[in-house]
Amino acid sequence: MGSYVIEKDPLVSDKERVRMTAVEVWNATGYRLLVRDNKKTKSGHRTRYQCCQDETSRKKSKPSTRPGAVPRDRVGMDRFDCSSRATISSRTFTRDQTKTLISIHFHHEKHHIPYYDVSMPQRVTDIIHENMGHCTPNNLVPLIQAEFPNITSAQVYSAWIKLSEELWKHAENPLESAKQLLEELRDEVEVVHTKVADGVEQLCWVLKKITGPLGKGVVEVALDATYRTNSAHLELYCVMAEDDNTGFPLSYCLLSTATSIEQ
Ligand SMILES: [Zn+2]
């Protein structure tokens, strides 16, 4: 258990600070924390966690009754009776609003092997874990295959998705998750509020760091669309501009019409 004081960053909410601290705890201990509940407090935010491998954290999932449903591929994660509980809080001092107090309470009784994809060598998981904050799977594949030629890019990709969830996944609903992530990245993107037809979900954003410098120099734009890129089957549209023979994405739009047509 411990606490420390940091300079308050006005762009980082207390809730976000708690989440970032949980990732640091994971990095430092190897135990990945699973959120149990969140609470807004008088002067900040606190989240309670459990070790994701704690036997008692196993959720009972009902098999899907949807026809043709394929059971989710579960990585055989080892479970332990580790009696884990953790609380992380972030709050602003009442007397000095420029300071944030971070408190961490982490109780973990039994040492066990840390969380990772059991089908992967530990070293591969470590490489992904160390670099996931600043590398895409595409950058990581050559790095990993140089050392482990038998590891496929699909394996790297799925491990990266799973391990990096802490960084980008903010909600179970993909659109809601994307909204929250974009809100967090508001220095780099601007969410465009659009008029949406009934029953259609839409999320559009502009990449400020590209549209700014390119600005009025753009004479022609192209629209690109992809499909089957996410679990929610949202279509992803992209407005591209060309500058010096290189294509740059200016803005993106996620649209749910494909699902509407399917149903
Ligand atoms: Zn544990």
Residues 6+ apart with CB under 8 A from 109: 82, 83, 84
Ligand 1 centroid distance, CA of 144 (Å): 27
Ligand 1 centroid – CA 61 distance (Å): 20
54 alpha carbon – ligand 1 mean position (Å): 5
**DSSP string computed for 182-209:** HHHTTTTEEEEP----TT--EEEEEEHH
**Max CA pair span of the chain:** 63
Ligand 1: distance of its center to the CA of 119 in Å? 19
Distance 180 CA to ligand 1 centre (A): 29
Instruction: Indicate whether 13 pLDDT > 70.
Output: yes
Q: What is the ipTM of this complex?
A: 0.98
Ligand 1 geometric centre to CA of 253 (Å)? 40
Residue 245, pLDDT score: 82
Give me the residues paired with residue 99 across strands: 7
CA 28 to centroid of ligand 1, rounded, Å:
14
pLDDT cut 90: percent of the chain above it = 28
Q: 62: CA distance to ligand 1 center in Å?
A: 24
Mean pLDDT of the chain: 82
Do 105 and 89 form a contact (C-beta atoms < 8 A)? no
> What backbone torsions phi and psi does residue 107 show, to the nearest 5 degrees?
-115, 125
Interval 75-109: pLDDT, tens: 456 788 999 999 999 999 888 889 999 999 999 99
Confidence check: pLDDT of 141 > 80: yes
Q: Give, in words, the CATH class of 1-57+76-115.
A: alpha beta
Q: Is 14 exposed, middle or buried (0-12, 13-18, 19+ CB in 10 A)?
A: buried
Predicted local confidence at residue 105, as pLDDT = 96
Domain residue extents for the chain: 1-57+76-115, 116-168, 174-262
Reported confidence tier of residue 59, pLDDT bands at 50, 70, 90 = low
Contacts of 77 (CB under 8 A, 6+ apart): 52, 53, 115, 118
